[in-house]
Amino acid sequence: MSGHGTPIPMTSHPCGPLTGTAEVPGDKSISHRSLILGAMAVGETRISGLLEGEDVLDTAKAMRAFGAEVISHGNGEWTVHGVGVGGFAEPDQVIDCGNSGTGVRLIMGAMATSPISATFTGDASLNKRPMARVTDPLALFGAQAVGRSGGRLPMTIVGAADPVPVWYEVPVPSAQVKSAVLLAGLNAPGKTVVIEKEATRDHSERMLAGFGAEITVEDTDEGRVITLTGRPELKPQVIAVPRDPSSAAFPVCAALITPGSDVLVPGIGLNPTRAGLFTTLREMGADLTYENMREEGGEPVADLRARYSPDMKGIDVPPERAASMIDEYPVLSVIAANATGKTMMGGVKELRVKESDRIDAMARGLRANGVTVDEGDDWWSVDGLGIGGVPGGGTCESFLDHRIAMSFMVMGMGAQQAVSVDDGSPIATSFPIFEPLMKGLGAKVERT
Ligand SMILES: O=C(O)C1=C[C@@H](OP(=O)(O)O)[C@@H](O)[C@H](O)C1
Ligand SMILES: C=C(OP(=O)(O)O)C(=O)O
């Protein structure tokens, strides 16, 4: 639960080559879903490689509060004894999802078609984020939501006693909304249909099929049509969580801008609905290769090799790629600052409702370190200064946002002077070993 503790100011100094192997933690999206679907299956699900970051630990606690037995065996090995679809118990405490939008939205979906109530809260960041995008479709199933004005947490969801299946076209590109509807659909009799105009990460669909749900996905002219048949008996699974591409982004981008670097980032999930950053970096001229491509646990996986890339060029990032790299724009803007020419990022309105307004947060920090940024409601652009051209020397606010804090730490590694953040504590939500991992590669990151 970041934001509840003492701020951790951090500084990242320009450094020599980054070298070695960066074993980043398990995928956050897949980790949340493993715990939630494990809790909705009948019997024991075994998970390895679970991300033990605060966001996922909060979801584990929540699943216990709904009656599942969730046990950590150490080193990313977990077991979940599920209570079956429709078997959730009513929690006797408020569910605190900390900093996690994915956690709270997916869990609201999972409980919304059971005859129980639950009250949800989060930290100062999560309690500002919009929840109506989830509670609107949950109301169609028969669930009720009462929260603060503007559809904010804290919020109580009264689950539908007699849920009906739903047909829902998701109005914003959001895997969290799509997943909340699918999880609610599990306990509604009949077929729930979700349509998304732009494909977003499909881990829920893949995992629901793996757990034995009847689910079909069809690409049509109207978009992706997902049909789920309610009331399945979910069968427990053995899940190996691939390493997180969104975490891999940080050592990869650090290596690209730090002279002499050569870093291997093994076992990274390369699901096409997640890999947009790596495609973009290669288009900009990054020396980034995929080695040993394979499939693990139903997800494509490769070892990434990133080397110092002094000749990257700014590009127009295609807006239709946004969903596949939505969490990576902050660190992409750091690469853009180290490229020559302008990088234009459009179709990214969703960045304004993440843990922070990420366009605003990055623009402020980039400007404080000598980089020119322009922005509109759903776009922003960065004027590249060429490799090593970022003056640095500034302190940035992280706004309770892990990706903002880590992006500025990466920026310091390739800048002319050190870059600081006011609070690195949110890094623990998704990448608890960021500091030792980056130091192990040769980075000079310190708590100040
Ligand atoms: O479903 C998920 O696991 C996630 C979906 C995305 O959010 P949106 O659904 O709000 O785009 C992403 O930003 C988040 O980090 C994880
Ligand atoms: C947006 C993110 O997470 P969440 O929405 O789960 O808080 C993220 O991890 O970048």
Residue 304 C-alpha to ligand 1 middle, in angstroms?
Answer: 23
Question: What is the ipTM metric for this complex?
Answer: 0.99
Q: How many Å from the N-terminal Cα to the C-terminal Cα in the chain?
A: 21
Residue 72 C-alpha to ligand 2 middle, in angstroms?
Answer: 23
State the Cα–Cα distance between residues 177 and 26, nearest whole angstrom.
22
State the Cα–Cα distance between residues 185 and 211, nearest whole angstrom.
15
Give the chain's mean pLDDT: 97
Q: Region 233-241: what's the mean pLDDT?
A: 96
Q: Is residue 220 part of a domain?
A: yes
**Is residue 283 predicted with pLDDT exceeding 60?**
yes
269 and 190 in a single domain? The answer is no
Domain-ending residue, one of 192, 208, 240: 240
218 and 257 in a single domain? The answer is no
Q: What is the pLDDT of residue 446?
A: 97
Place of tokens 């914003």: 172
State the Cα–Cα distance between residues 214 and 212, nearest whole angstrom.
7
400 and 442 in a single domain? The answer is yes
Domain-ending residue, one of 209, 240, 271: 240
Q: Is residue 1 part of a domain?
A: no
**Local structure of residue 26 (DSSP, 8 states):** B
Judge whether 129 is annotated as a binding position: yes
Contacts of 384 (CB under 8 A, 6+ apart): 312, 313, 314, 336, 337, 338, 339, 340, 341, 342, 343
**Is residue 12 predicted with pLDDT exceeding 80?**
yes
State the Cα–Cα distance between residues 424 and 401, nearest whole angstrom.
9
For ligand 1, residues with CB inside 6 Å are 29, 101-102, 174-176, 179, 201, 326-327, 350
308 and 380 in a single domain? The answer is yes
Of 59, 102, 178, 406, best ligand 1 pocket probe by most atoms within 8 Å of the beta carbon:
102
The one catalytic residue among 27, 55, 202, 327? 327
Q: What is the pLDDT of residue 2?
A: 46
Q: Is residue 236 part of a domain?
A: yes
Q: Is 327 a catalytic residue?
A: yes
Q: What is the pLDDT of residue 4?
A: 56
Contact 420, 10 (CB under 8 A): yes
For ligand 2, residues with CB inside 6 Å are 28, 100-102, 327, 354-355, 403, 430
> Tell me, what CATH number does 83's domain have?
3.65.10.10
Cα dist from 445 to 413, 439, 441, whole Å:
8, 7, 11
106 and 20 in a single domain? The answer is no
Q: Is residue 4 part of a domain?
A: no
Domain-ending residue, one of 240, 267, 301: 240
The closest of 187, 244, 239, 252 to 213, measured between CA atoms, is 187
Instruction: Tell me the residue range of the domain where 340 lies.
Output: 10-24+242-447
Residue 355 C-alpha to ligand 2 middle, in angstroms?
Answer: 6
144 and 235 in a single domain? The answer is yes
Tokens of 359: 């366009």
Q: Is residue 262 part of a domain?
A: yes
**Is residue 3 predicted with pLDDT exceeding 60?**
no
429 and 351 in a single domain? The answer is yes
Cα dist from 28 to 36, 57, 184, 201, 269, whole Å:
13, 11, 21, 12, 11
Q: How much of the chain, in percent, has pLDDT values that exceed 90?
A: 97
**Is residue 295 predicted with pLDDT exceeding 60?**
yes
- Per residue in 34-45, pLDDT (tens digit) is 999 999 999 999
Q: What is the pLDDT of residue 5?
A: 78
Q: Region 213-232: what's the mean pLDDT?
A: 97
Q: Is residue 344 part of a domain?
A: yes
Of 32, 54, 170, 176, best ligand 1 pocket probe by most atoms within 8 Å of the beta carbon:
176
Q: Region 98-116: what's the mean pLDDT?
A: 99
166 and 293 in a single domain? The answer is no
Per-residue pLDDT band at 1 (split at 50, 70, 90): very low
Which residues pair with residue 223 across a beta bridge? 220
270 and 218 in a single domain? The answer is no
311 and 169 in a single domain? The answer is no
194 and 274 in a single domain? The answer is no
3-state helix, strand, coil in the chain (%, to 5): 35, 30, 40
420 and 442 in a single domain? The answer is yes
Q: Is residue 271 part of a domain?
A: yes
Q: What is the pLDDT of residue 133?
A: 98
Q: Is residue 172 part of a domain?
A: yes
Of 2, 24, 27, 28, best ligand 2 pocket probe by most atoms within 8 Å of the beta carbon:
28
- Tell me how many domains the chain contains: 2
